[in-house]
Amino acid sequence: MTSGEATIVPITLTIGGRTGLTLWAPPWEDEDGEEWQGFLGDGAKILLYPNARELADFVASGEENDLSDHPAWGRVMKLPPDDLRPTTDDVYNLDEFS
pLDDT at 5: 64
Q: Provide CB contacts within 8 A for 6, sequence distance 6+.
A: 25, 28, 70, 71, 72
Residues 42-86 pLDDT 10s: 999 999 999 999 999 999 999 999 999 999 999 999 999 999 999
pLDDT at 48: 98
Residues 5-52 pLDDT 10s: 689 999 999 999 999 999 999 998 888 889 989 999 999 999 999 999
Q: Which of 31, 34, 9 is nearest to 22 (CA)?
A: 9
Indicate the helix (H) or strand (E) that contains 3.
none
Cα dihedral 51, 49, 41, 93 sign: negative
Please state whether the predicted TM-score (pTM) of the whole model is above 0.85: yes
Higher-pLDDT residue of 1, 15: 15
